[in-house]
């Protein structure tokens, strides 16, 4: 099958995206071919496309996709023709303990991604999508949705009545807010924008703190929550981690999910020790985690927040929008 694919060409840059016609080969045993109907953008995609993360050769962009199975290799029994599926972010991590691949096998980074119409790929790198989700909604799940799900349920076992701090308005944050509220937890949110705070409250945040007006916002969260929160999802990294430590209760838990503010940090160990805090670093999740998420979402009234949709010929504009940080919710590229 002939397929258009969008590449970034070294040294990168949003003006260095090119479209090429390629062939999607017939699927071999253990493989399927999918027709991609939608992709969603992540911060990582911007880093690769802009050249902040370099590739040693032209690379097909985008890590998250949803589509339809249109061909099946001999002996493949997991999927049927016309099944609606989505990709996995760490395709070599099927189940069990994490692997140490880093991003070497991550689509759109170490290997070619899914900014193309047809993809022939291992069936093991796919899962079904939630039954009532559109392709655009499903495409938002493999990275942001699964990161939030795993942080709250796969390792934390968030319980009704507990309180969770979900800072900011990243797409991981927006998923986490809805998921936590759906199981009866209380949510504290943060933002520097009154408009975004209103939107966070509309999603279900119980209490919100403007971190621009409250530089020591971690202490304010600790006070508002009544001696701290049970769980913190820290996505910012070095710039927010001290505040996360300030906000968490004695014996609480911090899930470190991102390094939006950089990778290097100094941490004050005093509150870490005196509060006896559990800290866990999480990188998205396995295929098994994703299948758990799909099953769990079937019973929850949670829908992805989508800011805007772009056609494929405007992928560079969509990436610029993502880079600007002005979005509230996912940016989707769809046919």
A 10 A CB-CB count for 165 gives: 31
Copy the structure tokens of residue 315: 């992928």
Residue 102 has what pLDDT?
Answer: 62
Nearest to 269 by CA among 239, 243, 233, 245: 245
Q: Is 268 exposed, middle or buried (0-12, 13-18, 19+ CB in 10 A)?
A: exposed
Residue pLDDT tens, the chain, 335 long: 899 999 999 999 999 999 999 999 999 999 999 999 999 999 999 999 999 999 989 999 999 999 999 999 998 889 999 999 999 999 999 999 987 666 778 999 999 999 999 999 999 999 999 999 999 999 999 999 999 999 999 877 899 999 999 999 999 999 999 999 999 999 999 999 999 999 999 999 999 999 999 999 999 999 999 999 999 999 988 888 999 999 999 999 999 998 665 666 677 878 888 999 999 999 999 999 999 999 999 989 999 999 999 999 999 999 999 999 999 999 999 98
Residue 272 has what pLDDT?
Answer: 82
> Cα separation of 175 and 52, whole Å?
26
Residue 210 has what pLDDT?
Answer: 97
| Count of residues making up the chain | 335
Residue 70 has what pLDDT?
Answer: 98
Residues 36 and 139: beta-carbon distance below 8 Å: no
Contacts of 299 by beta carbon, 8 Å cutoff, 6+ apart: none
Residue 293 has what pLDDT?
Answer: 98
Instruction: State the residue for tokens 């509309």.
Output: 202
Instruction: State the residue for tokens 């800011």.
Output: 307
Domains of the chain (ranges, CATH numbers): 2-144+285-334 (3.90.180.10), 156-281 (3.40.50.720)
Instruction: State the residue for tokens 């992805």.
Output: 304
Mode of pairing for the β-strands spanning 31-40 and 330-334: antiparallel
Residues 60 and 115: beta-carbon distance below 8 Å: yes
């Amino acid at each position: 099958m002939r397929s258009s694919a969008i590449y970034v060409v070294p040294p990168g840059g949003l003006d260095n995206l090119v479209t090429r016609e390629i062939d999607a080969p017939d699927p071999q045993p253990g493989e399927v071919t999918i027709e991609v109907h939608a992709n969603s953008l992540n911060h990582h995609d911007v880093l690769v496309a802009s050249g902040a993360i370099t590739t040693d050769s032209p690379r097909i962009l985008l890590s998250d996709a949803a589509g339809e199975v249109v061909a099946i290799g001999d002996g493949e029994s997991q999927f049927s023709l016309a099944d609606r599926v989505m990709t996995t972010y760490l395709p070599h991590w099927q189940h069990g303990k994490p692997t140490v691949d880093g991003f070497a096998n991550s689509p759109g980074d170490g290997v070619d991604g899914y900014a193309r119409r047809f993809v022939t790929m291992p069936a093991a790198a796919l899962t079904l999508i939630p039954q009532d989700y559109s392709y655009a909604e499903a495409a938002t799940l493999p990275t942001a949705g699964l990161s939030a799900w795993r942080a709250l349920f796969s390792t934390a076992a968030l319980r009704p009545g507990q309180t969770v701090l979900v800072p900011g308005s990243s797409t991981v944050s927006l998923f986490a807010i809805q998921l936590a509220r759906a199981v009866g937890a209380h949510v504290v949110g943060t933002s520097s924008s009154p408009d975004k705070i209103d939107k966070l409250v509309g999603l279900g945040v119980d209490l919100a703190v403007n971190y621009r007006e409250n530089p020591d916002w971690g202490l304010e969260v600790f006070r508002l929550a009544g001696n701290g929160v049970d769980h913190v999802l820290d996505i910012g990294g070095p710039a927010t981690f001290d505040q996360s430590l300030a906000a968490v209760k004695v014996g609480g838990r911090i899930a470190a999910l991102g390094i939006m503010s950089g990778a290097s940090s100094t941490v004050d160990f005093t509150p870490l020790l005196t509060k006896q805090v559990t800290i866990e670093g999480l990188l998205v999740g396995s295929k098994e985690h994703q299948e758990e998420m799909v099953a769990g979402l079937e019973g929850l009234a949670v829908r992805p927040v989508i800011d805007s949709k772009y056609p494929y010929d405007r992928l560079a504009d969509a990436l610029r929008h993502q880079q600007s940080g002005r979005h509230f919710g996912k940016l989707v590229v769809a046919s």
